[in-house]
Structure 1
């Protein structure tokens, strides 16, 4: 791609609040931002299922960076978009800067240096095949946990005393974030849920 050429997919950045995200990035030291970019590259290269925003946010806070999970998620979305767009358009590090010039210019200097360096060193390892792009549009379950509880009361009934199951799914979202989703089921619902899982397992064994 020639320097300065339009980048396919770049208009999608309009959906990001990029100005405020760039301001948040300014708070992150170069080494921590590099660690974040490394994890995003690993996710795009299918080496890890996603970036654990809660774990990484705690890491930042321990290092003295004022950060919350929502702000970190914004940064992951933007950087993931930059790397994904560069991969889909087979951009070099230089073309990443020129093809997305307006976006890159909003970032602090240390962040631009990190993005260019990591993309130059590892960008070519990301193969955005058709299958990979299709898979990236849906979340992936990477862990399931459950626990049994007993409902003892509610606003409408003082003594319920029925068992229920709380399910917690850890999901790698298409954006690269790892999120936890929890929901409750009655015992019959859980048994039906388990039956479907057994049926899926039986089908997979025949593939």
Structure 2
């Protein structure tokens, strides 16, 4: 009975992988060195285990590019989504390492050998630890705040004015979206706007202290 259930789940996974155009992602995975791909898989496992808010594909992409590999953050995000789907689906269906690797090999013939080795190792080490409950999936509908930074600048010119010289604050946010991708968002505020922004944070902190 267990074998029949696993076989049926493997078929579902294989069809879903085909629908995700994993073949296209496989071409990009081939560009990523094994150590970086292993790090990506480890981050995804940690995210699925709710140990980190998401996968920082922008930061990882920058390090991969620094090593001399030409890949953009959009392609890396697609790879992360595919691997995350792979692991979460395998966890929900309790697939063994061999079932997962066999299904993946049948569905994606273009997947490079080093990627299969990494997936085998990561799933063998951490596959049983993933708990993807229905409640957890239902809760993961909103983004999650990760980090905030700010810096002070001075606007020197614009299209309508040669010399402005007014101070402004740039706020940079890291936010994990529901899929687990960490994205960077930034916006500028005038000093009065930033002071109001800061005041509202102080008000929230004061309310939280009473909870």
Conserved 8 A contact 1:7-1:89? no
Unaligned ranges ≥5, structure 2: none
User: Deviation per CA, 1:84-117, whole angstroms, max 9, x where unpaired?
Assistant: 2222333332443466675444423332232133
Counterpart for residue 35 of structure 1? 39
Q: Give yes or no for the alignment of 1:137 onto 2:141.
A: yes
- Identify the residue that residue 179 of structure 1 maps to in structure 2: 183
Residue 209 (structure 2) aligns with: 205
Query: After superposition, where does 1:41-60 map in structure 2 within 5 Å?
Result: 41-60=45-64
List alignment gaps of at least 5 residues for structure 1. Answer: none
Which digits, 9 at most, give the CA deviation of each residue in 1:116-151, with x for residues without a partner?
Answer: 331122012122234532443332222111122233
Q: CA RMSD in A?
A: 3.0
> Structure 2 length as normaliser, TM-score?
0.78
Does the alignment pair 1:119 with 2:123? Answer: yes
* Larger deviation, residues 127-136 vs 66-75: 127-136
> Which whole-Å CA distance do the structure 2 matches of 1:123 and 1:27 have between them?
25
Q: 1:22 to 1:184 in 2, by over 3 A?
A: same
What does residue range 19-168 of structure 1 map to in structure 2 within 5 Å? 19-61=23-65, 63-97=67-101, 103-168=107-172
CA offset at residue 41 of structure 1? 1.0
**Distance in 2 separating the partners of 1:4 and 1:98:** 13
Task: Name the counterpart of 1:191.
Answer: 195
Q: How many residues align?
A: 206
The match for 1:169 is 173
Asked if structure 2 preserves the Cα contact closer than 8 Å seen for 1:76 and 1:175, the reply is no
Judged with a 3 Å threshold, the aligned counterparts in structure 2 of structure 1 residues 170 and 11 are, in CA distance, closer, same or farther, namely same
Change (3 A) 1:115 1:104: farther
The alpha-carbon distance between structure 1 residues 147 and 165, as it changes in their structure 2 partners (threshold 3 A), is: same
Contact 2:22 2:108 in 1 (8 A): no
Over 3 Å counting, the alpha-carbon distance change for 1:92 and 1:147 in structure 2 is: same
Contact 1:3 1:99 (C-alpha < 8 Å) held by counterparts: no
